[in-house]
Structure 1
Amino acid sequence: MPVKFDLYSNPEKEGVTSRKLHAKVISKGVVNTRNLGERVNQKCSLTASDVWGVLTALQTEFYNAFCEGYSVNLEGIGSFNLSLKCAPDVDPKYVSSKDIKVKGIRFVPDKKLLEMLNKVHFEHDIDDSRHSGNMEQADIIVKIDRYFVYNRFMRRADFEKLTGFNKSKALRTLKILVADGVLKNVGTVNMPMYIKNQI
Structure 2
Amino acid sequence: MPLFYKSVQSAVKSKDGTKKWHPKLVKVGKAVSTQKLSHLIAEKSSLTPGDVYNVIYNLMSVVHDQLMESHSVKLEGLGTFTVIATSRGNGADTADEVNPSQINNLRVRFTPVYSRTCGEGIIKPMFHDVKFERWGSKWNKKPASR
Shared fold by TM > 0.5?
yes
Query: Partners of 1:98 and 1:84 in 2: how far apart?
Result: 11
Residue 102 of structure 1: which of 100, 105, 111 is its match? 105
Query: Partners of 1:37 and 1:88 in 2: how far apart?
Result: 43
1:27 shift after superposition: 1.1
- Check if 1:125 corresponds to 2:126: no
- Check if 1:64 corresponds to 2:74: no
- Relative to structure 1, the CA distance from residue 65 to residue 21 in structure 2 (aligned partners, 3 Å threshold; closer, same or farther) is farther
- Relative to structure 1, the CA distance from residue 38 to residue 11 in structure 2 (aligned partners, 3 Å threshold; closer, same or farther) is same
Query: Partners of 2:81 and 2:133 in 1: how far apart?
Result: 30
For 2:131, the aligned partner's letter is H
1:64 shift after superposition: 1.2
- Relative to structure 1, the CA distance from residue 92 to residue 44 in structure 2 (aligned partners, 3 Å threshold; closer, same or farther) is farther
For 2:110, the aligned partner's letter is F
Q: TM-score, normalised by structure 1?
A: 0.56
- Relative to structure 1, the CA distance from residue 108 to residue 116 in structure 2 (aligned partners, 3 Å threshold; closer, same or farther) is closer
1:95 shift after superposition: 2.2
SS at match of 1:83: strand
For 1:123, the aligned partner's letter is E
| Equivalences for residues 31-110 of structure 1 within 5 A | 31-93=32-94, 94-110=97-113
Query: Partners of 2:89 and 2:14 in 1: how far apart?
Result: 21
- Runs of 5+ consecutive residues of structure 1 not aligned to the other structure: 131-165, 167-199
- Relative to structure 1, the CA distance from residue 101 to residue 46 in structure 2 (aligned partners, 3 Å threshold; closer, same or farther) is farther
Query: Partners of 1:96 and 1:120 in 2: how far apart?
Result: 44
Paired position in structure 2 for 1:169:
none
1:45 shift after superposition: 0.5
Query: Partners of 1:18 and 1:95 in 2: how far apart?
Result: 44
SS at match of 2:92: coil
- Check if 1:115 corresponds to 2:116: no
SS at match of 1:76: coil
Q: Which has the higher strand share?
A: 2
Q: TM-score, normalised by structure 2?
A: 0.73
Which protein has the larger Cα radius of gyration, Structure 1 or Structure 2?
Answer: 1
SS at match of 2:124: helix
Paired position in structure 2 for 1:24:
24
Q: Which has the higher helix share?
A: 1
Corresponding pairs, count: 130
Higher relative contact order (CA 8 A, sep 6+): 2
Query: Partners of 1:96 and 1:116 in 2: how far apart?
Result: 38
SS at match of 2:8: strand
- Relative to structure 1, the CA distance from residue 68 to residue 45 in structure 2 (aligned partners, 3 Å threshold; closer, same or farther) is same
For 1:40, the aligned partner's letter is I
